[in-house]
């Protein structure tokens, strides 16, 4: 398949490289001049997409996605599919899908879970919105770049699934870190805390798989000085998207709103930028109730 890949950053480059390694013809473009192994370089976005059957984008936010879409959609071949793997607001995803449909193109919003390691290892999970026809065309590519692709319904639903999932993740990580900090102050060892909670009603992915306490449970960023597997500023971005969507949908999400406020303070005022989102644990450990 002829594929164009726009956005060859930390996530996009290994995803594009995996597609090239699997035998697809991949042409890439990145405004910063980034490259990917096995991927031919185009001089512009429109040049990259001109003959592609599927155009994949991995971009920082909705405003940039809309700008790139304005550039590349007129240059795409009739019947091609625009597959956006960025995490953006639902409104931008749906607007770009409508723009693609008006140009006779397929469109999918397919944000990912799994981070840089998942992108490199081809083990990402894709949450996909768009038509069944476009999903079927892209399915072989999902199978190369990831281990699972879930079709969540019409355009925008992939983004909806991603932000709802990450709102849960942000809230449960905060609760897990609070509980460890409380256990410390009550004289309960972290190992005992983990052994009880990980097999009891308080268990969660944040506790069992990505434990924020170093030396406890499976290896996690806590065991590497909280160097980011998923950076706190990315969690802040996703929580912001969840609350933007909640406002649009008139949904009451007080825990999501509070998680957004805590991560904003952590990232902007408390040295959390550049640290893993689980570094909330030392943040709570260092604080008193007042």
Phi then psi dihedrals of residue 8, to 5 deg:
-110, 55
| CA atoms lying within 13 Å on the CB side of residue 45 | 24
Distance CA 53, CA 82 (A): 9
Q: Catalytic residue among 137, 162, 185, 227, which?
A: 162
| CA atoms lying within 13 Å on the CB side of residue 228 | 16
DSSP state of 33: -
Distance CA 270, CA 263 (A): 9
Rg over CA atoms, the chain:
20
**Number of CB atoms found within 10 A of residue 223's CB:** 15
Burial string for 45-61 (b: 16+ CB within 10 Å, else e) reads bbebbbebbbbbbbbee
Strand partners, 217: none
Long-range contact set of residues 38-42: C-beta below 8 Å, sequence gap at least 24: 39/5, 39/8, 42/4
Q: Catalytic site residue 227?
A: no
Q: Computed from CA positions of residues 264, 57, 161, 146, in that sequence, does the dihedral angle turn out positive or negative?
A: negative
Give one DSSP letter per residue of 78-102, joined into a string.
Answer: TT-EEEE-S---HHHHHHHHHHHHH
* Residue numbers annotated as active site: 162
């Amino acid at each position: 398949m002829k594929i164009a890949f726009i956005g060859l950053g930390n996530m996009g480059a290994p995803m594009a490289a995996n597609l090239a390694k699997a035998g697809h013809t991949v042409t890439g473009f990145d405004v910063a001049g980034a490259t990917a192994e096995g991927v031919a370089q185009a001089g512009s976005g429109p040049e990259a997409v001109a003959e592609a059957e599927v155009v994949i984008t991995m971009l920082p936010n909705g405003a940039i996605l809309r700008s790139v879409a304005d550039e590349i959609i007129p240059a795409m071949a009739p019947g091609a599919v625009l597959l956006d793997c960025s995490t953006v607001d639902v409104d931008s995803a749906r607007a770009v899908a409508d723009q693609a449909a008006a140009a006779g193109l397929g469109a999918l919003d397919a944000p990912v879970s799994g981070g840089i390691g998942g992108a490199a290892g081809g083990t990402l999970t894709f949450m996909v919105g768009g038509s069944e026809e476009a999903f079927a065309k892209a399915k072989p590519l999902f199978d190369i770049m990831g281990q699972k692709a879930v079709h969540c319904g019409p355009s925008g639903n992939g983004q909806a699934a991603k932000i709802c999932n990450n709102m849960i993740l942000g809230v449960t990580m905060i609760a897990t870190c609070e509980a460890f900090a409380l256990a410390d102050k009550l004289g309960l060892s972290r190992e005992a805390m983990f052994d009880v909670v990980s097999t009891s009603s308080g268990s969660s992915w944040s506790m069992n798989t990505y434990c924020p306490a170093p030396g406890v449970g499976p290896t996690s960023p806590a065991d590497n000085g909280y160097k980011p597997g998923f950076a706190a500023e990315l969690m802040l971005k996703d929580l912001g998207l969840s609350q933007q969507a909640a406002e649009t949908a008139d949904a009451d999400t007080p825990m999501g709103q509070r998680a957004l406020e805590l991560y904003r303070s952590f990232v902007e005022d408390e040295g959390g930028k550049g640290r893993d989102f689980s570094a909330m644990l030392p943040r709570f450990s260092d604080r008193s109730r007042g």
